[in-house]
């Protein structure tokens, strides 16, 4: 039984409230012809506050892409390990028990990926597989869960660590003055999240089926324009309408599993904005309360990109979890337009005991019998 265990989530110490965001917009863009529209859109997001990695005065200053990307790396290395340690503890595992690390982020760039640094500094085995995902944006949280699920199905004894690191504030571009950009300035926040997917045992969501769906001819609805100044976020005004073509995809994956997407016990949905959740509630014919964990993430943290679904799952745990066998869906949406979806049931399965030898070498997917010459050594 492949199980998504309780995630760990951390947000930076600097906070900007909705009122402060609106005041900044009024002062910075007083002459903008569409300022009233932008202010109304920001107010309607439902976001009351966001956390950012720098004081707002530094965030508004653009020192250049090189310096911003260096800050991304510095902040990631400072903040990710503690969250990873907590996620491992939640799953009852050590670094030596992890067989693959899936690292998702769309707000900075590193090569080698942070996965290599984690392996070198946190005691993960040198044979740990690395899967960095950079270009799925907000959908990457769902994709990380799905790729971890796939790996554990292929290797039932495996355990996969997921890390989502998003510093959206480092993508602020003071020269981008479109309404979509102004809205984004009041919507996105920063966060680090991590979770373990166990191949066997563990309390959490037992993953049963996953799928992806691409809405045709929508590549330019959510995109980055990569320039000398860094990543410029492009958000088309049609994005809030995407639940109409995506709701049938959620119904299809549930139906293929013999479930009704409108009659599930829990919903973990990427909170890109309030209309996404309102429309999905209407199209799936479920009560708005069904998306309470996603709405709480949006209200308290804003849109934290790929970390949203992990934070919403964390809130499900903190609320006391569910009864054994409760059915639900996890869905992340992002550029493409892409949906990454999975189905699962709540489980509190016992955790198998760990190997007592901390120096034992476990290589999932490697069979000594298949390599007798190596095994002899």
Q: What digits encode the pLDDT tens for the residues 223-245?
A: 888 999 989 888 888 888 888 89
From the candidate CATH numbers 3.30.160.110, 3.40.47.10, 3.40.190.10, 3.40.630.10, the one assigned to the domain spanning 3-201: 3.40.47.10
First to last CA, the chain: 34
| Residue 209 CB-half CA count within 13 A | 13
Q: How many helices and strands, by DSSP H and E, does the chain display?
A: 12, 14
CA angle, 187 then 193 then 197, to 5°: 135
Residue 303 DSSP symbol: B
> Above 50 in pLDDT, residue 371?
no
CATH code linked to domain 204-349:
3.40.47.10
> Above 60 in pLDDT, residue 372?
no
Averaged over 320-330, what is the pLDDT? Answer: 95
What backbone phi and psi angles, to 5 degrees, belong to 213?
Answer: -145, 130
When pLDDT is cut at 50, 70 and 90, the band that residue 355 belongs to is low
Q: What is the pLDDT of residue 366?
A: 56
Distance CA 308, CA 297 (A): 7
Which residues are known to be catalytic? Answer: 138
Render pLDDT for 92-101 as a digit per residue (tens, 0 to 9).
999 999 999 9
Question: What are the CB-based long-range contacts (under 8 Å, 24+) for 312-316?
Answer: 312/268, 312/269, 312/271, 313/4, 313/6, 313/7, 313/195, 313/204, 313/205, 313/268, 314/6, 314/7, 314/8, 314/9, 314/193, 316/266, 316/268
> Which residue, 200, 203, 233, is CA-closest to 89?
203
Q: Do domains 3-201 and 204-349 have the same CATH topology?
A: yes
Averaged over 57-61, what is the pLDDT? Answer: 93
What six digits make up the tokens of 71? 């800050």
Q: What is the pLDDT of residue 358?
A: 46
CA angle, 25 then 278 then 43, to 5°: 15
Q: What is the pLDDT of residue 9?
A: 98
Burial of 81 (0-12, 13-18, 19+ CB in 10 A): middle
> Above 50 in pLDDT, residue 369?
no
Which residues sit opposite 227 in a β-bridge?
A: 230
Per domain, the residue ranges of the chain are: 3-201, 204-349
Model's pTM, two decimal places? 0.92
Residue 369 DSSP symbol: G
Distance CA 303, CA 45 (A): 10
């Amino acid at each position: 039984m492949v199980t998504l265990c309780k995630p760990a989530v951390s947000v930076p110490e600097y906070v900007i409230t909705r009122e402060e965001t609106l005041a900044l917009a009024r002062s910075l863009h007083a002459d903008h012809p569409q300022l009233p529209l932008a202010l109304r859109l920001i107010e309607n997001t439902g976001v009351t506050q966001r956390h950012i990695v720098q004081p707002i005065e530094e965030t508004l200053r653009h020192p250049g892409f090189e310096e911003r990307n260096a800050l991304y790396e510095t902040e990631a290395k400072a903040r990710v390990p503690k969250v990873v340690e907590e996620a491992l503890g939640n799953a009852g595992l050590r670094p030596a028990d992890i067989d693959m690390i899936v690292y998702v982020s769309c707000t900075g760039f590193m090569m080698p990926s942070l996965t290599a640094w984690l392996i070198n500094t946190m005691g993960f085995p040198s044979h740990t597989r690395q899967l960095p995902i950079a270009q799925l944006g907000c959908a990457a949280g769902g994709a990380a869960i799905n790729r971890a699920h796939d790996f554990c199905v292929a290797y039932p004894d495996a355990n996969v660590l997921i890390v989502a690191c998003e510093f959206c504030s480092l993508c602020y571009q003071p020269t981008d003055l479109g309404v979509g950009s102004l809205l984004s300035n009041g919507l996105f926040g920063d966060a680090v999240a991590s979770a373990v997917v166990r191949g066997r045992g563990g309390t959490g969501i037992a993953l049963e089926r996953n799928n992806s769906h691409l809405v045709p001819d929508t590549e330019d609805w959510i995109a980055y324009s990569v320039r000398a100044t860094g990543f410029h976020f492009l958000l088309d005004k049609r994005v809030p309408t995407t639940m109409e073509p995506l709701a049938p995809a959620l119904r299809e994956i549930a139906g293929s599993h013999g479930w009704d997407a409108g009659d599930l016990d829990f919903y973990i949905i990427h909170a890109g904005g309030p209309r996404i959740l309102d429309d999905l509630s209407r199209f799936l014919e479920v009560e708005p309360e069904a998306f309470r964990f996603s709405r709480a993430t949006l209200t308290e943290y804003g849109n934290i990109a790929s970390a949203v679904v992990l934070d919403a799952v964390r809130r499900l745990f903190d609320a006391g979890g569910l009864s054994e066998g409760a059915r639900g869906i996890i869905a992340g949406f992002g550029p493409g337009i892409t949906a990454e979806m999975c189905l699962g049931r709540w489980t509190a399965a016992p955790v198998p005991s760990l190997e007592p030898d901390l120096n034992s070498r476990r290589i999932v997917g490697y069979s000594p019998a298949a390599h007798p010459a190596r095994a002899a050594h």
